[in-house]
Amino acid sequence: GLDLEGQKPFPSRRKVSHFSSATRRTFQPAFTESAEPWRELADQLLHTGRVMVAFECFEKCLALLPLEASYYEDFATTLLLYRPDAAAHYKLTEQAVFDKALRMYRRGMNLEPENFRQAVALAEAYYLVTPARLVEGQAAWEHAFKLAGDESERSEALVHLARYAINRSHPNLARVYLEQVKEPRWELPKLALLRRIADAAKTPAAKVAVP
């Protein structure tokens, strides 16, 4: 799954070189009419450690109701990356922060319901939710599988579905998923999961921990 904990915010996005107060005043019309400057400012603030102000910029951004899913995904990812800050800023429990982030992912999916990568972003987010929400996480990967457009995407979803099947103590179902994995790049995760199933069969009383 995606290692959100180790990621920097939006590494592929163009970085903003400078957002001084004077610059912000200069581009004030853009800030009032477009969501993108607010997202760029939030990104820059995150990179300089001003997380609380970044949250406010995301709120300004989303108040403009952008029609691209990535805006909501970026905010959701930020909430997951900075959970303690989000809990303090919004006066929420950690579970409520998880709920808020998941809602943001779903808002993005509603805008682009056929977008496989958006479905994957939501499904991967469940790996960070504690305690685990296995039923919801599995359902998210089932939805992603339905949107898969090629063998690589299908194999990706199947590997994750197999992980959930193992976590829910359904090794036979996990094997069914893994037998359908055909894409070479997913062969190593497939073999690793098959080994875990085999090891668990030798010691059925042991709990299988799947990363």
Last residue of a domain, one of 61, 83, 113: 113
For residue 71, the domain's CATH number is: 1.25.40.10
Number of domains in the chain: 2
Q: Which of 44, 125, 35 is nearest to 83 (CA)?
A: 125
Last residue of a domain, one of 85, 113, 141: 113
The answer to whether residues 124 and 53 belong to one domain is: no
The answer to whether residues 70 and 34 belong to one domain is: yes
Residue 8 located in a structural domain: no
Residue 128 located in a structural domain: yes
> Residue 181 — left, alpha, or beta (φ > 0 → left; ψ -120 to 50 → alpha)?
beta
The answer to whether residues 163 and 102 belong to one domain is: no
Two structure tokens written together for 74: 């970026």
Question: Do residues 61 and 35 make contact, with C-beta atoms less than 8 angstroms apart?
Answer: yes
The answer to whether residues 211 and 131 belong to one domain is: yes
Residue 15 located in a structural domain: no
Residue 103 located in a structural domain: yes
pLDDT for the residue 205? 56
Residue 2 located in a structural domain: no
Give the domain extent around 77.
25-113
Q: Where are the alpha helices (DSSP H) in 65-133?
A: 69-81, 83-90, 94-111, 116-125
Last residue of a domain, one of 89, 113, 137: 113
The answer to whether residues 134 and 175 belong to one domain is: yes
The answer to whether residues 135 and 76 belong to one domain is: no
What pTM does this model have? 0.80
Question: Digits of tens for pLDDT over the chain (211 positions)?
Answer: 333 334 444 443 443 333 444 344 444 545 567 999 999 999 999 999 999 999 999 999 999 999 999 999 999 999 999 999 999 999 999 999 999 999 999 999 999 999 999 999 999 999 999 999 999 999 999 999 999 999 999 999 999 999 999 999 999 999 999 999 999 999 999 999 999 999 998 875 555 454 5
The answer to whether residues 171 and 202 belong to one domain is: yes
